[in-house]
Structure 1
Amino acid sequence: MREYSVPTLVDVPASANCTDTVFARAEREPTAVVIRRKEGDGWVDVTARQFADEVVRIAKGLIAAGIEPGDRVGLMSRTRYEWTVLDYAIWTAGAVGVPIYETSSPDQIRWILSDSGARAVFVEHAAHEETVREVLAELPGVKHLWRIEDGGLDELVAGGEGVADETVAERRTARGGRDLATIIYTSGTTGMPKGCKITHDNLLFTARNATTGPLKPMFDVQDRAALLFLPLAHSFARLIQVALIETHTILAHTPNIKNVAPDLQSLKPTFLLGVPRVFEKVYNSAEQKATAEGKGKIFHLAADVAIRYSKAKDSGGPGLGLRIQHAIFDKLVYHKIRAATGGRLTAAVSGGSALGDRLGHFFRGVGIEVFEGWGLTETSAPSTVNPVNANRIGTVGKPLPGVTIAVADDGEILVSGRHVFDGYWNNEKATADAFDEQGRLRTGDVGELDQDGYLRITGRKKEIIVTAGGKNVAPAPLEDRIRAHPLVSQAMVVGDDRPFIGALITLDPEALEQWKAANGRQGATLAELATDPAILAEMQKAVDEANRMVSKAEQIKKFVVLDTDLTEETGHVTPSLKLKRDIVARDFAKQIESLYS
């Protein structure tokens, strides 16, 4: 067994909780800008004092409504300014936040509110309220439902006007590191989600050690700002929210992912958080735009130079010829990509799934270095991350300070540290099963740890495909490479107990619009395009590119293009964009069977 530990950098006091920095800064730097709030097409500054005052007003309302220390409060909303206010207000009242994805079904909402024993729930708008009210009759423990939009919080705030400041202060400071901060329900690729108990210490220990250690240079930038657009119901975005508040980085929110491009240009952030699909979209959009303008060949040459330039940095540095080519393409192509992100962005963090070597090298070559990390909801999001100034593309980096990573004899990654969760809510058996005999978290991921402590993820323990010939195949690398094609939305590799490896592929509806216009297929439906010879030829190119990575026995022999996409709305991917493999296999059993008939 290989094991690697990194010493703790910041030993968070046992008395600390997530609200401390908010109120300390409001006292010390009341006029400092902590958040930029979107209003219309512009941004409005929110100072430390204004933010703290808003948090207190909501906390007073919660206390007046009967919310007691330790009570659970649901929060169902897109990523927006009010999400952060409510999150910190719930903590200030001494309560526990229970995030709910805004795309959740009534059954999922019922389960989360019932299992957590929530006393109240916030929703964003009327449609959310209608969905929640469908299940409230079955949830007698939920006493209050408050809506964010249309002045829905005014009554709550008014009800708390008689609560004394001293009462709020007592509630807030009574919570310490070992107290529960949140119950985050894993989106789950199978079955009902389990509630992960995350403490104040879990969040603060992780945030402070990550930003003081491997990611410190990102937070040493003058006038630093970050744009959050991933769901704050996800542990990754939630931890980043805490980290931004802790490091005094200006935080901004984008509720609608379609607004990310203009918001990047107007906010001009220095830091970006994303999942691989976001970075794939940036690359594919730039490629399609160049192709539509008749500059596709120039873009592909520029991309090749960017990748070679980045790779050369890891092997002695680029030579004179490559440096000249890079400088030329920087003026022609790369600066446009950087300008599209606001012009100040030089670094980003990616998590959730594998980014892949190709995209990692491309973005570094362009001048926006992406640092991959890895972790689980059970580890308060990150356990590893690539350090700034020591990035090894293709790995997910080294353990965070205070974290130990071990790789068991069967390849499973085991984790220990103060960032590891406090177990599953109301599920002692699942909690016991989650840890090995030495108290290390069993992650279910399979990987390799090199002598310098860099971790490489090679697959999921339960997702390894074993063909009829006994060949073990990790599907993720093949799927990642297929998804790199600009027309591909999702890919799922199949072949368990089958004679060879196959794949299901779906098309990206947004990317298809430009392709249809350029290829005279304007009226074609998704179903028609799924069997279009030109599309099938493009998909074969994507499969051929993936097959170059693996041995002959691991190669995809046949594929089928589905006539629909796999999305969160169809129930085939989680909110963090992971495939629900069992459900996809069930719903498309006929198509899978056709590969082998």
Structure 2
Amino acid sequence: MSTNPMDFCTSQLDGEVILRRNKKEKFEDPLTIHELMIETATKFPDLIALGTRKQNDWETVTYIEYYELCRKAAKSLLKLGLERFHGVGILGESCFEWFIINIASIFAGGISVAIYPKNSFQVCRFIAENSRANIFMVEDDWQLQKIFKVQSHLTHLKAIVQYKDKITKKSPNIYSWDEFIDLGVTISDEILDRSIDAQKPNQCCMLIYTMGTTGSPKAVMISHDNITWTVRAVLQSLPFTHPPDNPEILVSYLPLFLIPAQIFEVWLPISIAASVFIAEPEAMKVQESLLKILRQVRPTSFCGIPEVWQGLQEKLNTDQMASTILKRNIFIWAKKVGLRRSLNPDADAHVPVSFRVAKKLIFDKVRRNLGLDRCLQFLSSGAGLSREIQEFYLSFDIPLLQMYGLTECTGPHTVSTEKDLKLFSCGKAIMGSKSMVRRPDKEGIGEIYLWGRHLFMGYLNNEYKTKKTFDPKGWLHTGDMGILDEEGYLHITGRTEEIIITYQGEKIFPVPIEDMLKENIPIIHYAMIVGNQAKFLSALLTLKCEYDQDTGEPHSILTKEATKFCQKHNSKAVKVTDITNNQDPIIDAIIQKGINAINEKTDFESHKILKWKVLEKDFSVAGGELGPSMKMRRSHIIRLYQMTIAGFYI
């Protein structure tokens, strides 16, 4: 019996899909979110599930308390009138209440709708209307005011709950967290259980909105099975530990409106009964805040995005530069020993004495300084992890296990493990999924296609886009370009829209060049190569600078690391404006030297960077140059700096 390819997907919120089954899988039975959670709550009721900071101590809940809190909140949502397959918008930073609301929305038969906290009120209106949101959960008054501005347009909205801070002005159908959590006392267990029992693994339970460079956000429909299957597949590949012997201790700090963060900080921990300690929201912005919680919790596994790993790298470099000459020299020696050993682990039959000494003197101290001394695996999720960052950590005997995935495949698709590691690759497809490269060129580079039960259901209310995303056999085409080597390791080279076509029709992938720019010129924060249909390449460069902790806006003041770099080279620059418009010949010469080193690697004039400019402002999410996951929004940047780019080719 043949299956219609479109049975694998839908664009309707109440639609159901056929699961992509693989006969080789060890875990065929699909699960709902409730089944995933009740299994752990029943098996390990007294283990710590969540910890949140209260003044100078940690307040914790066990797995049975976690489960009961989610049920209690689900009853309150039903009391407020949440309808089946209608949205519950969650607008705010990650926190304890966020975890509860997210799961309770699903228990109650609604759709959890995670919203980027910095979205404008216009975008919030679109999401509310698109998801048919019955209820909005907002963090504070700032978020509440966004909903007030558009409330008259929201025909499905029944109530708003402000789950943090005191409500400044009481209005009808506006509830505090304490009021909300007690609302469902009149809803019986039987009513809630009927809602839970009606749910199927192949139905939607969550919407993740992805921001493109133009137009409205796309609503990625995620099913129960997408989440529960992905978690079990990842656990087949990555060696997370399990209770009762070795329960995992994890830190939650990544923004939970991103599906990879949810997989590793919400759903996977539930599956293995891990203890998750929730960081303050500023942990993503303020390095010291992240380091503080890492040192307090000392997680057993840690997942970072490239921006986080880069920030910790800068911290280590700053500490190194502030140390004595003797300590600095020991540091440099140890890094050389560590990198040599990491790049050639099989070169010596036994661990060299020099490596053991370096480990005791430096490597163990670095891990303690980062709060990662108990960490058994160091994961990196998201695009942009350069070879330079990976080699930096390898020099401290910290192998970053790179993963690849996207929202449309519920987060991870490939993972790397320490036992099955190919340096600088993104690893192999998780158990039960497959990768394929279509139309490879002579170097083996082609578009990456994915297959597995983690593939999303479709784009809500967008049948055309949904059908366009899948091929006739149900494979997802990603828009990413890469190589799948003979051993099954995936190597990403860039996205189709990133490819630069020279005036002679040659293809150039800008990301490796941009990584080399940042490696050769340590003061550079972001580099973007341009030159489509041109005779040569040009570069837009930003410098490492401080950021406003509240707004995320970049300042003109250089970071401490950047300032010390300038001082080391006899430059007096302390601000971006000291360097822009060719005001600092010393830094200009350093930048040009770094570019020359890259240009020497090619004989083609069209592949060389002949012009460049340091921009007056660093890229940021607040400025729109970066998306919520810190990726450059290239077409947006090109529009912003179209006059500058045009000036390169006059």
TM-score by length of 2: 0.85
Residue 149 in structure 1 maps to residue 172 in structure 2: no
DSSP 3-state at the match of 1:272: strand
8 Å Cα contact 2:86-2:131 kept in structure 1: no
Residue in structure 2 matched with residue 492 of structure 1 by the alignment: 528
Residue in structure 2 matched with residue 291 of structure 1 by the alignment: 321
Residue in structure 2 matched with residue 56 of structure 1 by the alignment: 71
- Hey, what's the Cα distance between the residues in 2 that align with 1:431 and 1:478? 33
- Any residues of structure 2 matched to 1:21-60 within 5 Å, and which? 21-60=36-75
Change (3 A) 1:409 1:52: same
- Hey, what's the Cα distance between the residues in 2 that align with 1:351 and 1:551? 35
Partner AA of 2:455 in structure 1:
V
2:609 to 535, 556, 564: 556
Residue in structure 1 matched with residue 341 of structure 2 by the alignment: 309
Residue in structure 1 matched with residue 29 of structure 2 by the alignment: 13
DSSP 3-state at the match of 1:251: strand
Residue in structure 2 matched with residue 243 of structure 1 by the alignment: 268
- Hey, what's the Cα distance between the residues in 2 that align with 1:569 and 1:12? 43
Partner AA of 1:492 in structure 2:
M
How many Å apart are 1:142 and its aligned residue?
1.9
DSSP 3-state at the match of 1:418: coil
Partner AA of 2:105 in structure 1:
I
Residue in structure 2 matched with residue 208 of structure 1 by the alignment: 232
DSSP 3-state at the match of 1:489: strand
How many Å apart are 1:7 and its aligned residue?
6.9
Partner AA of 1:505 in structure 2:
L
- Hey, what's the Cα distance between the residues in 1 that align with 2:241 and 2:612? 42
Partner AA of 1:539 in structure 2:
I
Residue in structure 2 matched with residue 585 of structure 1 by the alignment: 638
Residue in structure 1 matched with residue 13 of structure 2 by the alignment: none
- Hey, what's the Cα distance between the residues in 1 that align with 2:337 and 2:246? 31
- Hey, what's the Cα distance between the residues in 2 that align with 1:233 and 1:550? 42
- Any residues of structure 2 matched to 1:5-154 within 5 Å, and which? 8-14=24-30, 16-150=31-165, 152-154=176-178
- Hey, what's the Cα distance between the residues in 1 that align with 2:33 and 2:510? 39
Residue in structure 1 matched with residue 559 of structure 2 by the alignment: 512
Residue 176 in structure 1 maps to residue 212 in structure 2: no
- Any residues of structure 2 matched to 1:268-417 within 5 Å, and which? 268-295=298-325, 298-313=330-345, 316-318=346-348, 323-342=352-371, 343-410=373-440, 411-417=446-452
> Structure 1 stretch 267-276 or stretch 29-38: which is displaced more?
29-38
How many Å apart are 1:333 and its aligned residue?
2.9
How many Å apart are 1:514 and its aligned residue?
4.5
Q: Cα RMSD (Å) of the superposition?
A: 2.4
2:505 to 470, 476, 479: 470
Residue 163 in structure 1 maps to residue 187 in structure 2: yes
- Hey, what's the Cα distance between the residues in 2 that align with 1:549 and 1:441? 35
Residue in structure 1 matched with residue 489 of structure 2 by the alignment: 454
Partner AA of 2:406 in structure 1:
L
How many Å apart are 1:345 and its aligned residue?
1.6
Change (3 A) 1:537 1:249: farther
Change (3 A) 1:548 1:521: closer
- Hey, what's the Cα distance between the residues in 2 that align with 1:159 and 1:52? 17
Residue in structure 1 matched with residue 478 of structure 2 by the alignment: 443
Residue in structure 2 matched with residue 228 of structure 1 by the alignment: 252
1:332-352 Cα shifts (integer Å, max 9, x gaps) = 432232012322123121121
How many Å apart are 1:441 and its aligned residue?
0.8
Residue in structure 2 matched with residue 595 of structure 1 by the alignment: 648
8 Å Cα contact 1:6-1:400 kept in structure 2: no
1:152-172 Cα shifts (integer Å, max 9, x gaps) = 212212221111122222222
> Structure 1 stretch 353-362 or stretch 333-342: which is displaced more?
353-362
- Hey, what's the Cα distance between the residues in 2 that align with 1:230 and 1:394? 23
8 Å Cα contact 1:114-1:139 kept in structure 2: yes
Residue in structure 1 matched with residue 223 of structure 2 by the alignment: 199
8 Å Cα contact 2:252-2:278 kept in structure 1: yes
DSSP 3-state at the match of 2:542: strand
Change (3 A) 1:533 1:39: farther
- Hey, what's the Cα distance between the residues in 1 that align with 2:154 and 2:603? 54
- Hey, what's the Cα distance between the residues in 1 that align with 2:595 and 2:57? 44
Partner AA of 1:575 in structure 2:
P
- Hey, what's the Cα distance between the residues in 2 that align with 1:541 and 1:82? 51
DSSP 3-state at the match of 1:353: coil
8 Å Cα contact 1:361-1:393 kept in structure 2: no
How many Å apart are 1:491 and its aligned residue?
1.3
Change (3 A) 1:550 1:127: farther
- Hey, what's the Cα distance between the residues in 1 that align with 2:593 and 2:348? 30
Change (3 A) 1:325 1:24: same
How many Å apart are 1:318 and its aligned residue?
4.4
How many Å apart are 1:43 and its aligned residue?
2.4
Residue in structure 2 matched with residue 569 of structure 1 by the alignment: 622
Partner AA of 1:116 in structure 2:
S
How many Å apart are 1:231 and its aligned residue?
0.8
Larger RCO (alpha carbons 8 Å, 6+ apart): 1
8 Å Cα contact 1:225-1:269 kept in structure 2: yes
The gaps in structure 2 that reach 5 residues or longer are 1-20, 167-175, 441-445, 547-557
- Hey, what's the Cα distance between the residues in 1 that align with 2:81 and 2:273? 32
8 Å Cα contact 2:226-2:410 kept in structure 1: yes
- Hey, what's the Cα distance between the residues in 1 that align with 2:25 and 2:571? 58
Partner AA of 1:11 in structure 2:
F
8 Å Cα contact 2:256-2:262 kept in structure 1: yes
How many Å apart are 1:522 and its aligned residue?
7.9
Partner AA of 2:369 in structure 1:
A
1:527-555 Cα shifts (integer Å, max 9, x gaps) = 22334233334434554565576665533
- Hey, what's the Cα distance between the residues in 1 that align with 2:481 and 2:134? 39
8 Å Cα contact 1:264-1:340 kept in structure 2: no
The gaps in structure 1 that reach 5 residues or longer are none
- Hey, what's the Cα distance between the residues in 1 that align with 2:319 and 2:256? 31
How many Å apart are 1:260 and its aligned residue?
0.7
1:223-259 Cα shifts (integer Å, max 9, x gaps) = 3111121110011101222111111111122222221
- Hey, what's the Cα distance between the residues in 1 that align with 2:438 and 2:492? 13
How many Å apart are 1:590 and its aligned residue?
2.3
Aligned length: 588
- Hey, what's the Cα distance between the residues in 2 that align with 1:567 and 1:159? 41
Partner AA of 1:24 in structure 2:
E
8 Å Cα contact 1:214-1:388 kept in structure 2: no
How many Å apart are 1:52 and its aligned residue?
1.4
Change (3 A) 1:39 1:317: farther
8 Å Cα contact 2:499-2:509 kept in structure 1: yes
Residue in structure 1 matched with residue 293 of structure 2 by the alignment: 263
8 Å Cα contact 2:44-2:273 kept in structure 1: no
How many Å apart are 1:173 and its aligned residue?
2.8
TM-score by length of 1: 0.92
8 Å Cα contact 1:6-1:399 kept in structure 2: no
- Hey, what's the Cα distance between the residues in 1 that align with 2:531 and 2:130? 36
Residue in structure 1 matched with residue 9 of structure 2 by the alignment: none
Residue in structure 1 matched with residue 17 of structure 2 by the alignment: none
